[in-house]
Amino acid sequence: MRIAIPYLIFEVKGKEYMIDAYFSKKVERIERVSALIRPFDRSLRRECEGSLEPLIKEEDLEGFLKEVFREVYELSGEKLKSRLSHMRRWNIFRLLGLPTGYKRHLKEEEELAKENREALLALAILKNVLGIKSPKELENLHILVRGYRYYAVEIGESIYNEKGKEDKIYAQLLKIDESFKKEIERMAHFFE
Q: Helical H runs in 41-162?
A: 61-95, 102-130
Which amino acid, residue 127?
K
The sheet with strand 15-20 has its strands ordered as 37-39, 15-20, 2-12, 144-155, 159-161
Contact 153, 2 (CB under 8 A): yes
pLDDT above 90 covers a percentage of the chain that reads 61
Per-residue pLDDT band for 94 (boundaries 50, 70, 90) equals: low
Given a cut of 60, is residue 98 above it in pLDDT? no
Given a cut of 60, is residue 83 above it in pLDDT? no
Given a cut of 90, is residue 55 above it in pLDDT? yes
Given a cut of 70, is residue 21 above it in pLDDT? yes
Q: What does the CA dihedral 1, 186, 115, 166 come to, rounded to 10 degrees?
A: 0
pTM of the model: 0.82
pLDDT at 107: 75
Per-residue pLDDT band for 96 (boundaries 50, 70, 90) equals: low
Q: Which domain holds residue 29?
A: 1-192
Number of structural domains found in the chain: 1
> Across residues 63-85, what is the average pLDDT?
80
pLDDT above 70 covers a percentage of the chain that reads 83
Classified as helix, coil or strand, 172 is helix
Given a cut of 60, is residue 90 above it in pLDDT? no
Which residues does 13 contact at the CB level (< 8 Å), separation at least 6? 131
> Across residues 78-93, what is the average pLDDT?
58
Task: Please state, rounded to an integer, the average pLDDT across all residues of the chain.
Answer: 87
> Across residues 43-57, what is the average pLDDT?
90
d(CA 142, CA 21): 19
pLDDT at 102: 57
d(CA 92, CA 69): 35
Planar angle of CA 57, 181, 164, nearest 5 degrees: 85
d(CA 112, CA 130): 27
State phi, psi for 34 to the nearest 5 degrees.
-60, -30
Bridge partners of 3?
153
Per-residue pLDDT band for 188 (boundaries 50, 70, 90) equals: confident
Give the highest mean pLDDT range of 84-93, 100-109, 137-146.
137-146
